[in-house]
């Protein structure tokens, strides 16, 4: 077996901690011990291959899943999925979910007193193309209140789940909208220490993908962990975890 070419570790501060007290739900769910450093093996540099047979081509348009059109501002969300060297990641599955334009999820546990939209489910998926590009048509999700603290409101966001080429590259994140006044008050958005990393979760208004008289375009590029340039040296069996 050839030596393993590992994926890069995240740069310090660019990922959320597990415990972030302003996000109240993290208090009882964040592990109390630091995770054990795991050298990547074949198990981590491989990962599920979920190609076209797992994909419905129509699922990238969230405005055409019902007999009528959903209410709200129609938008185009698009971008590229690439690694840290800028190389496109093709044929990778992206799943998205979101609230409707009134800020209500089609979910039994969402008790927000805002209307459901019979023409909007709020889920979609697609595969990136040969250049790593993806594109969704949807409606702009509404902001909504939540019970994290007194008078807490979430900035408008779309959830995205991306697989990439390996178990090590898995990503679930949220995309925000430029100029949303709730962003500075959103404890989930603000959980990451590195300001630049945080701000990359805010999409950009994009004239190139905006369709005149039809829909505004928002661009959101997604970067997954890149590859180390040299294979892992033989780790000694006695190498103990960096706890």
Partner 1 sequence: MTLQATTWQTVGPFFSIGLCRLYRDNLAGPGVAGERVEINGRILDGDGKPVPDGVIEIWQANSQGKYAHPEDVQDKPLEKEFTGFGRIATDIDGYFRFSTIKPGRVPGPVGPNGKANLQAPHLVISILTRGLLRRLVTRMYFPDDPSNAEDFVLSLVEESRRSTLIAKKVEGRAGSLEWDVVLQGANETVFFEL
Site for partner 1 in 143-182 (CB under 8 A): 157, 159, 161, 166-168, 170-174
Q: Determine the size of the site formed for partner 1 (CB under 8 A).
A: 93
Residue with tokens 């805010």: 202
Nearest in space to 162 (alpha carbons), one of 191, 128, 194: 128
HEC profile of 184-203: HHCCCHHHCCCHHHHHCCEC
Under rule CB under 8 A, residue 80 binds partner 1:
no
Q: Is 214 helix (H, G, I), strand (E, B) or coil?
A: coil
Distance of alpha carbon 217 from alpha carbon 77, whole angstroms: 6
From the list 89, 137, 139, 188, which residue makes contact with partner 1 (rule: CB under 8 A)? 188
For 5, how many CA atoms within 13 A lie in the half-sphere containing its CB? 8
Under rule CB under 8 A, residue 204 binds partner 1:
no
Task: Tell me the closest approach of the beta carbon of residue 117 to partner 1, in angstroms.
Answer: 13
Under rule CB under 8 A, residue 30 binds partner 1:
yes
Task: Tell me the closest approach of the beta carbon of residue 206 to partner 1, in angstroms.
Answer: 17
Residue span binding partner 1 (CB under 8 A) among the ranges 70-78, 132-140, 207-215, 231-239: 231-239
Under rule CB under 8 A, residue 64 binds partner 1:
no
Q: What are the contacts of 115-118 at 24+ separation with CB within 8 A?
A: 117/70, 117/71, 117/72, 118/66, 118/68
Catalytically annotated residues: 105, 144, 154, 157, 159
Under rule CB under 8 A, residue 116 binds partner 1:
no
From the list 50, 71, 114, 205, which residue makes contact with partner 1 (rule: CB under 8 A)? 50
């Amino acid at each position: 077996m050839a030596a393993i070419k590992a994926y890069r570790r995240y740069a310090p501060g660019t990922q959320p901690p597990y415990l972030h007290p302003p996000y109240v739900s993290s208090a009882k769910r964040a592990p109390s011990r630091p995770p054990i450093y795991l050298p990547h093996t074949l198990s981590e540099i491989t990962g599920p291959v979920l190609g076209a047979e797992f994909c419905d081509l129509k699922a990238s348009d969230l405005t055409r899943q019902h007999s009528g059109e959903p209410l709200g501002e129609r938008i185009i969300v698009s971008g590229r999925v690439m690694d840290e060297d800028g190389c496109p990641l093709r044929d990778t599955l992206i799943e998205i979910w979101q609230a409707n334009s009134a800020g209500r999820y089609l979910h039994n546990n969402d008790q927000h007193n805002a209307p459901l939209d019979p023409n909007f489910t709020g889920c979609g998926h697609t595969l990136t193309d040969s250049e790593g590009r993806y594109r969704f048509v949807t409606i702009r999700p509404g902001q909504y209140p939540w019970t994290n603290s007194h008078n807490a409101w979430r900035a408008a966001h779309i959830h995205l789940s991306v697989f990439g080429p390996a178990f090590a590259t898995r990503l679930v994140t949220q995309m925000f909208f430029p100029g949303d006044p709730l962003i500075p008050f959103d404890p989930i958005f603000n959980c990451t220490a590195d300001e630049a990393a945080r701000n990359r979760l805010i999409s950009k208004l994009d004239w190139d993908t905006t369709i005149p008289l039809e829909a505004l375009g928002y661009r959101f590029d997604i970067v997954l962990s890149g590859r180390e340039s040299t294979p892992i040296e033989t780790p000694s069996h006695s190498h103990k975890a960096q706890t």
